[in-house]
Amino acid sequence: MIKAWYNKQAGAIKIVLLMTALILFSNNVTAQSVIPYVLNKSAVYVSAVSVKPAHDTLYLSTDFASPAILFPEQCNLISGRVIEKIELVYTTFRESDSFNQYQLNYQRLLSFQKAAPEVFLNNTIEWKLVAQTGCRSSAQGKKMFHGFVVYLRPEQNEKLTESELFFLDTLSRSISKIVDEDSILYFMKSKWDKQKGFVPDSATAVYFSKKHMPYFNLHDSTVINVLNRNKWNKMLMVVDVTGSMAQSTAQLMIWHKEHFKKERIRHFVFFNDGDQKGNSQKRELTTGGIYHLNAATAADIAQGVAQAMQKGNGGDAPENDVEAILEGIKNCPECNDVVLIADNLANMRDFAYITSIGKPVHIILANQRAGINPQYLALAYATHGSIHTAYEDITAIHLIPVSGSITIGGIVYKFNGTEFIPEF
Beta strands in 313-410 (DSSP E): 338-343, 361-366, 386-388, 393-394, 405-408
Cβ-Cβ contacts under 8 Å for 254 (sequence gap 6 or more):
171, 175, 178, 216, 224, 298
Find all residues with CB under 8 Å of 406, minimum gap 6, and list them. 377, 394, 397, 400, 412, 413, 415, 420
CA 337 centroid distance within chain: 20
Cβ of 33: how many Cβ atoms within 10 Å? 18
pLDDT number for residue 3: 38
Lowest average pLDDT, out of 25-39, 109-123, 225-239, goes to 25-39
Is the predicted pLDDT of residue 184 greater than 60, yes or no?
no
CA distances from 294 to 49, 197, 233, 265, 322 (A): 50, 45, 14, 9, 20
In whole angstroms, what is the distance from residue 270 CA to residue 367 CA?
17
- pLDDT at residue 414 tops 80: yes
| Residue range 268-308, pLDDT digits in tens | 999 998 887 777 678 888 888 999 999 777 788 888 999 99
How confident is the model at residue 22, as a pLDDT?
A: 40
- Domains with residue ranges and CATH for the chain: 41-152 (3.30.1330), 158-178+219-423 (3.40.50), 180-212 (no CATH)
Tens digits of residue pLDDT in 322-362: 999 999 999 999 999 999 999 999 999 999 999 999 999 99
* 52-79: average pLDDT: 94
Strand partners, 291: 270
Residue 140 CA to residue 64 CA, distance in Å, equals 10
Nearest to 376 by CA among 316, 322, 315: 322
| Contacts (Cβ under 8 Å, ≥6 apart) of 332 | 236, 266, 267
**Cα–Cα distance, 151 to 133 (Å, whole number):** 22
Confidence of residue 31 (pLDDT cuts 50, 70, 90): low
User: What SS3 state is found at 94?
Assistant: coil
pLDDT of residue 215 exceeding 70, the answer is no
Do residues 100 and 13 lie in contact, with contact meaning Cβ atoms separated by under 8 Å?
no
CA distance linking residue 311 with residue 290, whole number of Å: 10
β-bridge pairing 44-46 and 126-132 = parallel
Q: Residue 352's CB: how many other CB atoms inside 10 A?
A: 21
The residue with greater pLDDT, 281 or 102, is 102
> Which segment, 240-249, 281-290, 369-378, is predicted with the most confidence on average?
369-378
pTM of the model: 0.82
Using the predicted structure, report yes or no on whether residue 421 has a pLDDT greater than 60: yes
Q: Return the minimum-mean-pLDDT range out of 25-39, 258-272, 385-399.
A: 25-39
